[in-house]
Structure 1
Amino acid sequence: MLEKSQQRKARPGRNIHVGLATCETEILEAQKLRYRVFAEEMGARLCSRTPGVDRDLYDPWCEHLIVRDEDAGRIVGTYRILSPAAARKVGGYYTENEFDLTRLQHLRSRIVEIGRSCIDAEYRSGAVIAMLWSGLARYMRDNDYDYLIGCASVSMADGGHNAASLYNRLRETHLAPLEYHVFPRCPLPLDQLRTDLEAEAPPLIKGYLRAGAWICGEPAWDPDFNTADLPILMPMGKIEGRYARHFLEREN
């Protein structure tokens, strides 16, 4: 487990640290941050019953990784973590709503799902995401898990042409071996979209791929978030040396 007291400096003069939320108040604050980013900034249609809060049926079963600015008194970044044991209790991974994970069945006891990643608009310099990643690395190491899985989103603001072009480019270099392929339940209609644009990967996806993650198949369309979601699988043993050192050095 992560130690909440461990300090991480994200910017000079700021008292910022990363750790797992330890109380309902911190979880609620993280869910409010998610609402501001996903609903208010991105225009997502969220199914929460509580105004201003992003919460679904998976939240009670998840651990919530947070970055807190103690000087400002607020949470500025978060990831939602679903362990294999928790996934069994809730009936599966969130990712299974979008993809058929049958070919990953033999890995289920070693897979941790991550999702709902977001950072406060004032803190998107790269430091906070690095802190979240160092927290994930520690979580995986301390609990002896081998794989991270999740959905990496690409905006559909242009109708999906950019997302289709990005997938077309990345499948040439980052596609998982066939035995790890998953299949979208609501596929992005690639045959109806342009695939020849100079598409730039969003920073989060770029970071995953640089660290050694695979794309496990064609993107799914998420109508609630209006995004094309790429299925990402990151074998912890595959993380490239310089990224492994970067993550683990931040935890010492």
Structure 2
Amino acid sequence: MQPILRGRYRARLAQDDNDLRSAQRLRWLCFHGRNGVPDDGQALDSDGMDAECRHMLVEDVATGALVCCFRFLPLADGSQIARSYSAQFYDLRALEGFDGPMVEIGRFCTHPDHHDPDIVRIAWAAMTRFVEESGIEMLFGCSSFIGCEPETHAEAFVMLKERHLAPRRWWPRVKAPRVFRFARAFRLRKPDARRAMAAMPPLLRSYLAMGGWVSDHAVVDPALRTMHVFTGLEIRTIPPARRRLLHALAERPA
């Protein structure tokens, strides 16, 4: 896949171990450093999935600084779902029946000192190009909320329960030992749309705008101090106007 250039940013695939270490360093800053873990300047966030995945980097062209990264795992179809990171935390047997190419997106993060919305836009453009070139029919992964207190995320959870639960045929079931069943806990509560969307993580907000859906429960991760929901997006359900926008971004060459 060729790099994509948008304004001051370039998205490209990692090429070597140095690129991978740069991504792992940014991930550490985003997922561990925010929790006050002591930093010697060399700490990395890494796991066994890194060797199985491809890694996308978004860099500031002028400085070469890495401002965003994510990894992705292509699967031939749902029969390979057990290989995914998400399958460690969710019972995804319903998705074994999905008969098209899939890709799991994980460890998506942006540098804590960079807030330009074009960063997320070019990251999505890069994934869009991969999806189109590879014939992918479903994106999936875990979308994280920072903090393990359910009430902190209540408005967002209520909105997810009300409007964005997974189709029954793909329903992710409980597997992790510690979960919060928000659809059950907030079954009688109605969402405040403005407050709910303000409380929604940016990546999840993007998924939902494209027609994405989520599990009915959140997995609690005390080590990273997050709660995450399984998130899926069938490519054919993306609204035409948004597909055209993503396609236009993905077509811009470096």
Q: Which bracket does the TM-score occupy, shorter chain normalised?
A: 0.7 to 0.9
Secondary structure of the corresponding residue to residue 169 of structure 2: helix
> Aligned pair in 2 of structure 1 residues 222, 108: CA closer, same or farther (>3 Å)?
farther
Matched, 1:138 2:137: no
> Aligned pair in 2 of structure 1 residues 223, 97: CA closer, same or farther (>3 Å)?
farther
Matched, 1:40 2:33: yes
> Aligned pair in 2 of structure 1 residues 193, 174: CA closer, same or farther (>3 Å)?
closer
Match of 2:16 in 1: 23
How many Å apart are 1:165 and its aligned residue? 4.0
Match of 1:52 in 2: 43
1:149-228 to structure 2, matched below 5 A, reads 149-156=140-147, 159-185=149-175, 186-188=178-180, 190=182, 198-199=195-196, 200-228=199-227
> Aligned pair in 2 of structure 1 residues 251, 169: CA closer, same or farther (>3 Å)?
closer
The answer as to whether partners of 2:77 and 2:99 remain within 8 angstroms in 1 is: no
Q: Which structure 2 residue ranges, 5 or more long, are not aligned?
A: none
Match of 1:100 in 2: 91
**Percent sequence identity over matched residues?**
25
Tell which has more relative contact order, 1 or 2 (C-alpha 8 A, sep 6+). Answer: 2
How many Å apart are 1:215 and its aligned residue? 1.4
Match of 2:72 in 1: 81
For these two proteins, the number of residue pairs brought into alignment is 240
Q: Which structure 1 residue ranges, 5 or more long, are not aligned?
A: none
Question: Aligned equivalents of 1:184 and 1:148: distance in 2?
Answer: 20
Match of 2:111 in 1: 120
> Aligned pair in 2 of structure 1 residues 239, 91: CA closer, same or farther (>3 Å)?
closer
Question: Aligned equivalents of 1:80 and 1:141: distance in 2?
Answer: 17
How many Å apart are 1:169 and its aligned residue? 2.2
Question: Aligned equivalents of 1:150 and 1:35: distance in 2?
Answer: 19
> Aligned pair in 2 of structure 1 residues 26, 88: CA closer, same or farther (>3 Å)?
farther
> Aligned pair in 2 of structure 1 residues 109, 244: CA closer, same or farther (>3 Å)?
closer
Q: Which is worse superposed, 215-224 or 192-201?
A: 192-201
Secondary structure of the corresponding residue to residue 98 of structure 2: helix
Secondary structure of the corresponding residue to residue 26 of structure 1: helix
The answer as to whether partners of 2:77 and 2:101 remain within 8 angstroms in 1 is: no
Question: Aligned equivalents of 1:122 and 1:243: distance in 2?
Answer: 28
How many Å apart are 1:193 and its aligned residue? 8.3
How many Å apart are 1:85 and its aligned residue? 5.5
